[in-house]
Amino acid sequence: MDEKTESTWLETPDPQLFINNVAKFSDLMMMYRCVIREVQTKLEVLDDEFSVEYKRNPISFIKTRIKKPESIYRKLKKLGYDFTAENIQEHLNDVAGIRVVCAFIDDIYTVANLLANQDDIKVINVKDYIKNPKPNGYRSYHMIVEVPVFFSKGKTPMRAEIQIRTNGMDFWATLEHQLRYKKGIEEMDGYDAISDELMRSAQAVIEMDNEMQNIKNMIGRFHDI
């Protein structure tokens, strides 16, 4: 591919043309897959250590995803940037996503702090939707991190979004997304009632998480005696 051809597809706002350039797109997505593996390995190491040292696993499971090209295009357009590889890396922090689901609320902050204290992880931003839930009831702990990834051409800092939540938070968020974001649901009669019910279910999850955390704390106190 000559320089003129590369310049044309990088400057175009057409995501399909970007996708069709297999080599460039595959290279960029490979880099995001690599940062996911880097972060996932760090999380798995921490979980293994807890299993040996404390006889339990703070992490229930880990899910990962790469944002779809269409979503990348729409987000860049919303931010006012052209659909280019450079803009993706510079202006989007959530192309690579890692969801960490924990057993208890305090595990969330333990995992987040242990990650933040690693000397090769740079925390770019934190949003604590557990202490400050979103208006719809959504709760989770979000971190944007930058991690060095070593390729054949050298070290490249890559960013990823980490979402850390309990099993209850993840259950609610997954079903809420399926229910609320069906096409045209906001125009339905009774939408306000649906939102109220979802908020009540979110409150029930909060209460359950708090109760399970209290039981864990009680067991810990009795176990220490």
pLDDT of 5 reads 45
Query: In the chain, pLDDT over 90 holds for what percent of residues?
Result: 66
Q: What is the mean pLDDT of residues 193-211?
A: 92
pLDDT digits (tens, 9 = 90+) for 124-134: 999 999 999 99
Whether 7 has a pLDDT exceeding 90, the answer reads: no
pLDDT of 3 reads 47
> DSSP for the chain?
--HHHHHHHHH-S-HHHHHH-HHHHHHHHHHHHHHHHHHHHHHHHHHHHHHHHTSS-SEEEEEEEE--HHHHHHHHHHHT--S-HHHHHHH-S-SEEEEEEESSHHHHHHHHHHHHTSTT-EEEEEEETTTS--TT----EEEEEEEEEEETTEEEEEEEEEEEEEHHHHHHHHHHHHHHTSTTGGGSTTHHHHHHHHHHHHHHHHHHHHHHHHHHHHHHHHHH-
Q: What is the mean pLDDT of residues 205-211?
A: 95
Of the listed ranges 10-19, 132-141, 207-216, the least confidently predicted one is 10-19
pLDDT digits (tens, 9 = 90+) for 75-134: 999 999 987 788 899 999 999 999 999 999 999 999 999 999 999 999 999 999 999 999
Query: In the chain, pLDDT over 70 holds for what percent of residues?
Result: 85
